[in-house]
Amino acid sequence: MSENEKQEATSPHIPELAHLAACQPEEFRRRASTIEDLAFFTDKDAAHHGIFLGVPLPRLSSISLDASDANTEAALEPYLQPSLRRFCLYGGPVSDEFLDKLRESCPSLEHFLLDNARNLISAAGLLRFVSGSLPLKHIELMYGLDYALTPAVLRALARRPGLETLKVGGLLTHDTITSISSSNDDNTTEPPTRSSTTTEKQPIFPDLRTLCCSVIEPDMLFTGLLPHLPSALGELEVVISRNKSSSSARNAAYKIAPNLTLLAAHCPDLHTLKLRCRFGIRVSRGDIARFVAKLPRLEVLDISEDRKNDECGANEEEDDKDDKEEDEWEDMDSPPPLTSLRILRLTVRGPTTPISLLEAASRWGSDLVECELLFRGAEYDLRDPFYQGEMPVLRELEVERLVKPRAGEEMETAAREAAQAIERIAPRLESFRVRTASTFANMVESIWEEISWERR
């Protein structure tokens, strides 16, 4: 039997199993006894839960279920096998009782993901589950459970030995972070008082290697949470929001870059860093180069703006105009080659020029396989002779604005030259976008699409 055949036998598609159960029930039961992995991708898949009622699944080790109202506790009970090691439920009406049953029925469970339990799970029920004796190594509590992520729950998670991955969708506040490292008993949900905290920091997240969370303001990450994280942390992914009561976004914008070296010093084994900022950020080539130089194992660097829910205040775009044309790159013209960096995604503002950053990026990571750059807050004339660099690994490029054609210059000719320049600079580019729309920008995008389509 080939590897593909083995994969299909142990991880079959649900519709195929449903057809088999209807046409050849004995063969279905035989097949079910060999299944190791089940994945329910759609509501239609979830409609077939009934075929497993009363059917033994002795080898089932992993199950993943997309959100569905059909994911009831009774429907999911056949999957609660002693062999189960991975349980991922992205939505369904399950309660505290189901978590209790999962804990009792699956003593080998290592990976647990839960989202949108229809508000049926309480903080107390979740606390019982994460405080139990299961050998959990990977826990993901998504946005649909933010109401249950009390300080007591997070404190129990922080003290779990063997926990390697923690991904929480809820916002970590100042009180939450303070409570995580407090000496309060685990069954209290109140933030610690000044008198209840100890002077020595207790070891928390002792075995954590991956953390994904959300915080308000950069300070909450760099001075609040970071000191409590283990130095062996390898992957950090944080969504950083801005306090809406803040008078300006500038404070938050300028706090990312200077704290990168602090992060590198505390977590020297980082191989993946993703910071999604809900505000404009200011980073230069020098900031990035100094950070990358301190992390020899860094493979993925993603520092970008996520402004779908714009929290940036009306004055932030005006702040861009006040930036001085200051550049910290003179001493970084020849950063050391770092072959570990493979994926680079950056949002850059101010006087930074795309090609000079592309050139630096190509030196930072000679093994780059994916690069996405978003340039904001400036105009770019891609036909300028300065833009003579080339970066084959660039996959996505976004700029704020394009310089309009010169007086008397035909717009279509100028647009074609700009599109051809983009193709020359990035011959493997998959996406190009101008953030500030204009007739000229739309024309450049359209012509580049034609050129790139012919290339593919």
Nearest-angstrom CA–CA distance, 154 and 166: 10
pLDDT band at 440 (very low <50, low <70, confident <90, very high): very high
Q: Distance between alpha carbon 186 and the CA centroid of its chain, in Å?
A: 29
Nearest-angstrom CA–CA distance, 180 and 170: 14
CATH number of 1-121: 2.40.10, 3.80.10, 1.10.10, 3.30.1180?
A: 3.80.10
Cβ pair 182, 207 in contact under 8 A = no
pLDDT tens sequence across 178-192: 888 775 444 444 444
Q: Which of 72, 71, 3, 8 is nearest to 36 (CA)?
A: 8
Question: What does the mean pLDDT of the chain come to?
Answer: 82
pTM over 0.75: yes
Q: Which of 419, 411, 416, 413 is nearest to 439 (CA)?
A: 411
Domain residue extents for the chain: 1-121
Q: What is the pLDDT of residue 210?
A: 98
pLDDT tens sequence across 286-342: 778 788 888 989 999 999 887 654 444 434 444 444 444 344 444 444 545 555 788
pLDDT tens sequence across 124-183: 999 999 999 999 999 999 988 888 989 899 999 999 999 999 999 888 888 888 888 775
- DSSP-derived letter for residue 369 is -
- Percent of the chain as helix, strand, coil, to the nearest 5: 40, 20, 45
Q: From residue 214, how far is each of 41, 256, 316 by CA, in Å?
A: 27, 15, 22
Q: Which residue has the higher pLDDT, 32 or 247?
A: 32
Q: Is the pLDDT of residue 368 over 80?
A: no
Q: What is the pLDDT of residue 95?
A: 97
Count the alpha carbons within 13 Å of 119 in the hemisphere toward its beta carbon.
1
pLDDT band at 21 (very low <50, low <70, confident <90, very high): very high
Q: Is the pLDDT of residue 450 over 80?
A: yes
Helix (H, G, I), strand (E, B) or coil at 116: coil
Q: Which residue has the higher pLDDT, 98 or 375?
A: 98
pLDDT band at 446 (very low <50, low <70, confident <90, very high): very high
Backbone φ and ψ for 48, nearest 5 degrees, come out as -100, 15
Helix (H, G, I), strand (E, B) or coil at 229: coil
Q: Is the pLDDT of residue 449 over 90?
A: yes
Nearest-angstrom CA–CA distance, 145 and 127: 12
